[in-house]
Structure 1
């Protein structure tokens, strides 16, 4: 079959929107959460926005479900421009629909969009946000290097943490991650939980050590990943493994304390979502977490498994009034500095600047 010409592209009404958020998505992780929050925040600020997903890896991609549930316009690029490579498809779509701005998230979306925007010959702005706090391995390490060292080709770049910004050899603007606090109420339960991807950089095996050291305390783990099978096999009886959660909004009300024991982070949305709901966060001092969390004021920092145990035991001895004060301080921190109403206007000032 002959590739479609520019004038015969299958119609995709969503691509008529002027602001494209470009992403390559397989699972629903931190970048997907950020893009969803960003799209909703931009909609609330009357921006014409669409989430453009490079390709469909499976029929039931979690991000597609979330976008549909929240009425955020989206389009699968490979479906909208068939019979072409992703490079050709993106270039054809840019020339046909001529958006004002393409904001890429993740190395693949960034690399493809930089090249396509340059080749289009059109006055389209290309922005990139750097999210990854961990150091990748294998082939992804090469792609990540290329993404960082071609940052100068973007019209503007953002990073969600100082540590991530330091890895990019060109200027980036530090921009806080954020959540829509209007949809997060001050409500929490009693579970002590880990929420996140079960992969080495998240340090989920530390939950085994913590739970073993506190045998009379029950822990809950929400998430899936490459470490899942091994972790369950060596798990003590006081950990409940819940697997991947499609609808975390039904889970958060059960959680009272969130443990983030990562080895590397940017600024995890899980921490922001938890704190906005008054859930106490105990976290490793990595990425932007020491900026977000003031130890003993709106949460706690712990730099070892023993420190996590000590903080948990301390927390359990605090009077209810002190616990409530910490929870309220956590929510206020997010409202002031990490809500969509606080961050989106900052982003729009960059969107609206001329090339």
Structure 2
């Protein structure tokens, strides 16, 4: 007898949200579920996926009314033709279009994962309020919301996006390839990034986007005034040209390497002496947990669910967002105190165990997919 049929819908199968969606889908497939990933983009991960893939090019991240209506029509038709038991959406755009399409098609179970939110404190108030209202209406047709990290769950409850009993917290899955670190991992990673063995390296992983604040990473590297330190950013995105210009214009003593999009991120993490992420807002970044698993001390901004794993002075250091000066101070503190950095890294790695494995994620997904009635209002469309 074949297992439950699940459609995993995501705008871009890339970065942290894409990794969580893909690892969850593959873990469920290993348990006998029939999983189909539906995504607008993300060729690298889509090509690697061990499950059925459906590409929907109209599913794009920017607000584009014509493409959005096309994507809604096509997904509604797909969910009507194919008898999925569960539609599980990820990301804001796919979360809206996918949930409405599943509701219209009468899919028995609708699940959404909040990796973060489309609203944040750096938006104009009216836009932020509009996004909150949209998410509340979508919550009426959502059976279960899975929130990546406690901070995200708390915010979902505080904003009233769904009733509290339909909100659950999950962790990000760490790739098995980063556990455990080996003595050869560091020199191999340095060679892959073409970095000298003797350099001190501060690394970051993420999209070159407003959310991740790569310009603050460059500002922090400049504020260090350390020609012996190399800053490395792994990732690509819409701000690539601007970040490249900032890197070229940085002080001559500031050494910045923009490594671009890479398929081997877990293998590159051991190259770093410090992992630094200056995000303005987040869910719980996969890269932070993987850096911890690789034994790299972490400095990050105190936003959303990041404090779930980065506990100040215990498993890493936290700084306020939009303060590259304080980010630089925290980085220098760890670079100048290797014993303290090792202590934090050891404590951080110790917490990355069963909770951050693909098996734990699969357990959480199976619990969320249980096809039993909830109090979700499936009678009223969020478009009404």
Work out whether residues 181 and 335 of structure 1, in 8 Å CA contact, stay in contact via their aligned partners in 2: no
CA distance, structure 2, for counterparts of residue 200 and residue 95 of structure 1: 37
Match of 1:239 in 2: 255
Match of 1:5 in 2: none
Correspondence 1:315 to 2:334: yes
Tell me: CA distance 1:97–1:257, structure 2 relative to 1, closer, same or farther (3 Å): same
Match of 1:20 in 2: 7
Unpaired runs of at least 5, structure 2: 59-68, 187-199, 374-384
CA distance, structure 2, for counterparts of residue 28 and residue 310 of structure 1: 31
1:246-257 equivalence runs, <5 A = 246-247=262-263, 248-257=265-274
CA distance, structure 2, for counterparts of residue 107 and residue 310 of structure 1: 34
SS of structure 1 residue aligned to 2:26:
helix
The structure 2 residue matched to 1:339, chosen from 340, 346, 357, is: 357
Tell me: CA distance 1:212–1:163, structure 2 relative to 1, closer, same or farther (3 Å): farther
Tell me: CA distance 1:336–1:202, structure 2 relative to 1, closer, same or farther (3 Å): same
SS of structure 2 residue aligned to 1:275:
helix
Tell me: CA distance 1:69–1:178, structure 2 relative to 1, closer, same or farther (3 Å): same
Correspondence 1:94 to 2:79: yes
Tell me: CA distance 1:251–1:75, structure 2 relative to 1, closer, same or farther (3 Å): same
CA distance, structure 1, for counterparts of residue 57 and residue 81 of structure 2: 15
* Residue correspondences, number: 326
Work out whether residues 9 and 90 of structure 2, in 8 Å CA contact, stay in contact via their aligned partners in 1: yes
Q: How many angstroms does 1:167 deviate by? A: 3.9
Length-normalised TM-score, structure 2? 0.74
Work out whether residues 134 and 201 of structure 1, in 8 Å CA contact, stay in contact via their aligned partners in 2: no
Q: How many angstroms does 1:181 deviate by? A: 4.0
Q: How many angstroms does 1:270 deviate by? A: 1.2
Structure 1 segments (4+ residues) deviating >4 Å: 136-145
SS of structure 2 residue aligned to 1:259:
strand
What do residues 195-248 of structure 1 show as CA deviations (whole Å, max 9, x unaligned)?
Answer: 212223322222233222222232222233324244224323323232422312
What do residues 135-168 of structure 1 show as CA deviations (whole Å, max 9, x unaligned)?
Answer: 3769996567524432111122222223541345
Tell me: CA distance 1:229–1:151, structure 2 relative to 1, closer, same or farther (3 Å): same
Correspondence 1:76 to 2:43: no
Work out whether residues 134 and 264 of structure 1, in 8 Å CA contact, stay in contact via their aligned partners in 2: no
Tell me: CA distance 1:140–1:218, structure 2 relative to 1, closer, same or farther (3 Å): same
What do residues 262-318 of structure 1 show as CA deviations (whole Å, max 9, x unaligned)?
Answer: 121111111112112112111111111112112222211123434333332332333
Q: How many angstroms does 1:102 deviate by? A: 0.4
Work out whether residues 23 and 106 of structure 1, in 8 Å CA contact, stay in contact via their aligned partners in 2: yes
Q: How many angstroms does 1:51 deviate by? A: 0.7
CA distance, structure 2, for counterparts of residue 45 and residue 124 of structure 1: 21
Match of 2:19 in 1: 33
Tell me: CA distance 1:325–1:40, structure 2 relative to 1, closer, same or farther (3 Å): farther
CA distance, structure 1, for counterparts of residue 25 and residue 127 of structure 2: 26
Length-normalised TM-score, structure 1? 0.80
Match of 1:170 in 2: 162
SS of structure 1 residue aligned to 2:9:
strand
1:1-355 equivalence runs, <5 A = 18-25=5-12, 28-53=14-39, 55=40, 61=41, 63-77=42-56, 85-121=70-106, 124-133=108-117, 135=119, 145-160=133-148, 161-162=152-153, 164-165=155-156, 166-171=158-163, 172-187=166-181, 189=186, 191-216=201-226, 217-224=229-236, 225-226=238-239, 227-237=242-252, 238-247=254-263, 248-303=265-320, 304-320=323-339, 322-355=340-373
CA-atom RMSD, angstroms? 3.0
